[in-house]
């Protein structure tokens, strides 16, 4: 409500969504491997249907990735 977003946000405190959508796994940064959240965007339409999955998220170009989806 603070930013008057036209959609709801969720909080995954028990990691149920992370597990359900399989977005936890091995990552490598600067040569070090560790387990962590794999940045993934699920584009969901107004009916609640996933219409696209972006699994190679590019932070600088993400708005364009979503628009192209």
User: Taking the model in full, what pTM does it have?
Assistant: 0.68
Which residue, among 13, 10, 2, has the nearest Cα to 42 in the 3D structure? 10
Task: Please report the pLDDT score of residue 40 as a whole number.
Answer: 93
Cα three-residue angle 11-39-27, rounded to 5 degrees: 120
What lies within 8 Å, CB to CB, of 4 at 6+ separation is none
What confidence tens digit (pLDDT) does each residue in 11-53 have?
899 999 999 999 999 988 899 999 999 999 999 899 999 999 9
Partnered with residue 53 across adjacent β-strands are 42
């Amino acid at each position: 409500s603070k930013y008057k977003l036209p959609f709801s946000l969720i909080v995954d405190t028990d990691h149920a969504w992370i597990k359900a959508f399989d977005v936890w796994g091995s990552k490598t940064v600067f040569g070090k491997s560790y387990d962590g959240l794999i940045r993934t965007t699920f584009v969901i339409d107004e009916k609640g249907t996933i219409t696209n999955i972006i699994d190679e998220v590019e932070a600088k170009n993400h708005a364009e990735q979503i628009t192209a989806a």
